[in-house]
């Protein structure tokens, strides 16, 4: 038990250091700089950082999120990425112990985190990060480290890519452009290669839910800016439907209230359909509607699946049925 605890603490510290490294990798990729190991410096005043200003998370807290020399604000991205990598690594050791499986999943998580940063910052997913995930995933299953066959791995790699390409291109007549970038298709392919055909379904569904929840505030903000109050109302109506569904499931659905329950379900469905039509019309009329990068939602969903496995979707289904 104590050995396991030490192992987890060790993994968390390794995660902090790797997270710090991933920050640098992502930023240098975005700037198109060759990646070489050199002392990190402040992007504004270019002064080199002392070792004690370079301790993951802690230095950020001690310096109050500002450069020691020029007081330029340091992005919250640094400690956030360091902390998340640390948590992911500790969880990997907790679930899978000291093993080759853990090593593969550590590399997968690292590449995913880098893609998350570059996608959020500049809507860019680099081939140098995304394609290796597919190869790693197939190798992972060829070495029997996962739960699926090599054939399943290869088929899921293809299926993930094809599915996202179809969805991305089907947006063309509607939005005049692809809904997702090609990077997202490659990410889905990599997740398929690691976790198999059956995993793709919960990963994709959960990623759409994450995307909707994360994107809503931005979409509403854009609609308010364009004075499209009809669409905003429709969005709130949709959320109201979710609340109604919960009320129906947890409060009303008893044998003796079955007709109320059916009536409420019908009403909820009608409101949901009308709201959806209004929102889609609003989006079609205004081409300025900006689409958020989808990669991060897909990545977070994939990482959740890495730990939860097939429980990922069943938890969600239980919530509503």
Kindly list the residues in this chain that would bind Zn ion in the complex (CB under 5 A).
42, 44-45, 67, 69-70, 72
- Whether the CA torsion 212, 214, 218, 221 is positive or negative: it is positive
Minimum distance from residue 49 beta carbon to Zn ion (Å): 9
Q: Which is nearer to Zn ion, 66 or 230 (CB)?
A: 66
Q: Which is nearer to Zn ion, 71 or 169 (CB)?
A: 71
Please say whether the beta carbons of 16 and 85 come within 8 A: yes
Compute the distance between CA of residue 39 and CA of residue 260 in angstroms, rounded to an integer.
Answer: 67
Minimum distance from residue 30 beta carbon to Zn ion (Å): 19
Please say whether the beta carbons of 89 and 14 come within 8 A: yes
Read off the tokens for 301.
Answer: 């969903």
Phi, psi of 148, deg, nearest 5? -125, 165
DSSP symbol at 123 = S
Q: Rg (Cα) of the chain, in Å, rounded?
A: 23
- Beta partners for 66? 73
Minimum distance from residue 44 beta carbon to Zn ion (Å): 5
Q: Which is nearer to Zn ion, 40 or 222 (CB)?
A: 40
Residue from 273, 305, 307, 276 nearest 204 by CA: 305
Minimum distance from residue 113 beta carbon to Zn ion (Å): 25
Q: Which is nearer to Zn ion, 50 or 281 (CB)?
A: 50
Longest alpha-carbon distance in the chain: 73
Q: Which is nearer to Zn ion, 72 or 122 (CB)?
A: 72
Q: Which is nearer to Zn ion, 45 or 151 (CB)?
A: 45
Residue from 18, 19, 21, 29 nearest 183 by CA: 29
């Amino acid at each position: 038990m104590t050995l396991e605890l030490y192992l987890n603490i060790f993994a968390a510290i390794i995660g902090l250091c790797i997270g710090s490294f991933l920050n640098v990798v992502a930023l240098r990729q975005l700037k198109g700089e060759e990646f070489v190991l050199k002392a990190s410096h402040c992007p504004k005043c270019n002064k080199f950082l002392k070792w004690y200003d370079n301790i993951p998370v802690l230095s950020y807290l001690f310096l109050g999120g500002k450069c020691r020399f020029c007081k330029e604000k340091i992005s919250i991205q640094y400690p956030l990425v360091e902390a998340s990598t640390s948590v992911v690594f500790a969880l990997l050791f907790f679930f899978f112990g000291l093993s080759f499986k853990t090593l593969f999943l550590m590399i997968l998580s690292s590449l995913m985190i880098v893609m998350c940063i570059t996608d959020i910052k500049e809507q860019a997913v680099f081939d140098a990060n995304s394609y290796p995930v597919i190869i790693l995933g197939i190798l992972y299953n060829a070495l029997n480290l996962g739960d699926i066959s090599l054939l399943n791995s290869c088929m899921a790699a293809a299926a993930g890519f094809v599915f996202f390409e179809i969805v991305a291109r089907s947006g063309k007549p509607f939005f005049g452009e692809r809904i997702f970038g090609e990077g997202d298709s490659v990410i889905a392919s990599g997740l398929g290669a690691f976790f198999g055909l059956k995993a793709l379904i919960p990963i994709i569904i959960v990623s759409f839910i994450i995307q909707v929840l994360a994107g809503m505030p931005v979409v509403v903000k854009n609609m308010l800016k364009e004075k499209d109050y009809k669409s905003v109302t429709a969005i709130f109506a949709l959320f109201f439907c979710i609340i109604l569904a919960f009320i129906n499931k947890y409060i009303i659905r008893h044998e003796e209230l079955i007709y109320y329950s059916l009536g409420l379900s019908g009403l909820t469905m009608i409101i949901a359909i009308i709201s959806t039509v209004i929102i889609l019309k609003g989006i079609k009329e205004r081409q300025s509607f900006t689409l958020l990068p989808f990669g991060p939602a897909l990545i977070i969903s994939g990482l959740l699946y890495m730990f939860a496995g097939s429980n990922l979707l069943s938890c969600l289904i239980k919530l509503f049925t």
